Amino acid sequence: MLQLHMSSVSGPENKKKKKSVKKIVLAILLVLLLVVSGSALGLYVYGKSLLEAADPDSTKEVSIVIPIGSSPKEIGQKLEENGLIKNAQFFHLYSRFMNESNFQAGSYSLNPAMDLKAIINALKEGKLFKKPQFMITIPEGWNVPETAALIAEKTGTKKEDVVKIMADKTFLSQLEKKYSILGKDIYKKDLYYPLEGYLFPATYEFEEKKPDAKKIIDTMVSKANDVFGKYSADMENTSYTPFQIVTLASLIEEESQRDEDRAKIAGVFYNRLSKDMKLDSDPTVKYARKDFSVQVLYTDLEFDSPYNTYRVKGIPAGPISSPGEESLKAALKPQKMEELFFYARPNGQVIYTKTLSEHNAVYQKYRHEWKNWNKKQ
């Protein structure tokens, strides 16, 4: 009876148990397969990211020395320490797997924007750092005449010749085709200098002892294209053209002595633009008159020029100087505020006011400072 009872139970129910076990085993196998597949995909994505540049937006050059006899592991550690790669161990493993071992000892100038393959190629080809033979520094806020004068001095040419090169239509056309930041606006008839605003303020180094003016100018525009290009999406999201944004940034550059004031001054400018008020920016008067050494007088405010923001509404004809990156950022992201006026003192302080009467009171209080400051210059 016991055997019969057991056999009757082990029939259909045992089959059900076997099916359940199979389902469990299949489920476990499926989970394991998904885990393995997910891990493989994750490893692939992670490995791919390690091949990319450590900092794609970087423009700085990093100097490192690879001693004679350095192993790939030691080189990887040095590269990671200097922010040139993301992972030293991956560099070591990748070098072994790809049979990359012929690295040249020496001093190198590398960029965090270089991907792993580019860095490996540079180390294999022995692209060593060379001390620059020529260097030129353009400060923020310099205009074309100032920049041209320095280029002329450094290269032994005439300032007038450099200015002519900057206005040469064939040369401008070549630059426009190479650099997207330049548009048809640079050909406007009322502009004093087509490349105003696009000779980016920075220090430039060249391997040759005396590069020609065209190469120097090209390098400056290239730098502007790189820096301004980072904000192209932001420029497209404004109600102004990129040319107008660069123009506004140049005004902010000229009006600001301290970084903390740039976004505030931009805020005042935008408030005035929204109310259809003239910008009333003194630096535009100086630029319009092509006289940068004197204090702006009441008689100067009536000078007839599309640059003079005391005469014309809105953003002036074009840039009045070379704006730095901080001024460009301020032009794109002004501080929200209610003030419509600001007054800059010689000591760098900027006083913001909401009404004309408040502004005039500040002006009367501090106007003597500028008279004394001009006498000292």
Nearest to 128 by CA among 210, 63, 203: 63
Give backbone dihedrals phi and psi of 341, rounded to 5 degrees, phi first. Answer: -135, 155
Give one word for 96, left, alpha or beta, with left for phi > 0 and alpha for psi -120 to 50: alpha
pLDDT tens digits for range 57-108: 888 888 888 887 788 889 999 999 999 999 998 898 888 888 887 888 888 8
| pLDDT above 50 for 361 | yes
How many helices and strands (H and E) does the chain possess? 15, 6
Q: Which two tokens stand for residue 122?
A: 């540079």
pLDDT band for position 352 (cuts 50, 70, 90): very high
Q: What is the pLDDT of residues 228-273, one digit of tens each?
A: 999 999 999 999 999 999 999 999 999 998 999 999 999 999 999 9
Classified by CATH at the fold level, domain 62-125 comes out as: Dna Ligase; domain 1 (3.30.1490)
Q: How far apart are CA 261 and CA 225, in angstroms?
A: 25
Indicate if the pLDDT at residue 122 is higher than 60. yes
Q: Which amino acid is at 279?
A: L
- Residue of 85, 210, 56, 66 lying closest to 128 (CA atoms): 66
Which tens digit of pLDDT belongs to each residue from 314-323? 999 999 999 9
What's the mean pLDDT in 359-372? Answer: 87
If residue 106 lies in a helix (H) or strand (E), which one and from where to where?
strand 106-110
More confident residue, 151 or 370: 151
Averaged pLDDT for residues 97-122: 86
Residue 17 has pLDDT above 70, yes or no: no
- Asked if the model's pLDDT at residue 224 lies above 90, the reply is yes
Give the pTM: 0.67
Point out the least confidently predicted range of 102-106, 213-217, 264-268, 335-339: 102-106
> Which part of the chain has CATH 3.30.1490.480?
62-125
The token pair at 361 is: 């009171």
